[in-house]
Amino acid sequence: MSNRRDFMGMALGGFTALGGIGALYAMKRTWDPLPSVKAAGFTTIDLKDAQENILVTEKWRGKPIFVLKQSKEMVEKAKKSDELKRLIKIGDEYYMVAVGLCTHLGCIPGYDPANESFLCACHGGMYDGTAMVTKAPPPRGLDIPPFRIDGTKLVLGEEGPEYKKMLADGTTMKV
């Protein structure tokens, strides 16, 4: 009766495989970030009190977020170098908002207000006031976190139309 044995074998094997797949799925889900971690992935920052050319560091998803309100001269400079698209416009004011991790190896650059530039101490990379890279080794400017404009506030972690436009035209990478 080898047919009966084959059937038993296949039935047992099939259900065992099914259970195995189920168990693997449960294990994968256990290893997933918790809902509370996901929920904490949204941070609202208010740009109302930001002052020109003074760097403010916020925290989003455990990463430092640089906020730099641009002065009139800085905006002019950005216009000339065609980097206005890196800035976030709220009312008549322009803000640089970026993840404060060097795009080279992830160190945190320091800001020098006198020269309106960032310097990364690890390997000497430099960025201007719009966080565009001006000196290698970093491959690109600081990444801009996903944001949605809400009055004078920014909701970090949500993708608003302004952010989607930046993604589409390659101004920033997804972080």
Partner 1 sequence: MAHFEKANSLNEWLDQRIGINTLKKVMQSEYWIPKNINFLWAMGMVLAATFGILLVSGIFLLMYYNPSTDLAFDSVNYTIMTEVGYGWLWRHIHGVGASLVFLIIYIHMFTGIYYGSYKRGRELIWISGMLLFVLFSAEAFSGYMLPWGQMSYWAGMVITNLFSGGSLHADGLVEWIRGDYVPGQAFLGRFFMLHVLLMPLAIIGAIVFHFGTLRLPHVNNQDGEEIDFEESARLWKEGKVKESKVIPFSPVFLSKDVFVMGVYFILFFYLVFYHFEFAMDPVNFDPADGLKTPTHIYPEWYFLWSYEILRPFPTDPGLVAFAIAQVIFFLLPFLDRSPNVAPASRRGLFHFWFWALLIDMIVLTFMGKLPPEGIWSTIGLVAAITFFVLWIALPIITKFEKKL
Site membership for partner 1, residue 37 (CB under 8 A)? yes
> Which is it for strands 43-46 and 153-156: parallel, antiparallel or unpaired?
antiparallel
Q: How far is the CB of 156 from partner 1 (least distance, A)?
A: 11
| Sole binder of partner 1 in the list 13, 14, 20, 106 (CB under 8 A) | 106
Give Cα separations from 47 to 58, 82, 109, 148 (angstroms).
11, 23, 21, 13
Cβ burial of 6 (10 Å; 0-12, 13-18, 19+) is: exposed
Could you check whether the bond before residue 64 is cis, i.e. omega within 30 degrees of 0? no
Q: How far is the CB of 96 from partner 1 (least distance, A)?
A: 18
Q: How far is the CB of 24 from partner 1 (least distance, A)?
A: 14
Q: How far is the CB of 166 from partner 1 (least distance, A)?
A: 16
- Counted residue by residue, the chain has a size of 175
Site membership for partner 1, residue 119 (CB under 8 A)? no
Q: With contacts defined by CB under 8 A, name the span among 8-16, 18-26, 48-56, 102-110 that binds partner 1.
A: 102-110
Site membership for partner 1, residue 63 (CB under 8 A)? yes
DSSP track, 60-104: ETTEEEEEEEPPHHHHHHHHHTT-GGGSEEETTEEEEEEE-S-TT
Site membership for partner 1, residue 57 (CB under 8 A)? yes
| Sole binder of partner 1 in the list 4, 27, 33, 49 (CB under 8 A) | 33
DSSP class of residue 52 equals B
Six-digit token string for 37 = 């971690």
| Sole binder of partner 1 in the list 42, 44, 56, 64 (CB under 8 A) | 64
Interface residues with partner 1 (CB under 8 A)?
A: 31-34, 37, 41, 57, 59, 61-64, 105-108, 121-123, 139, 173-175
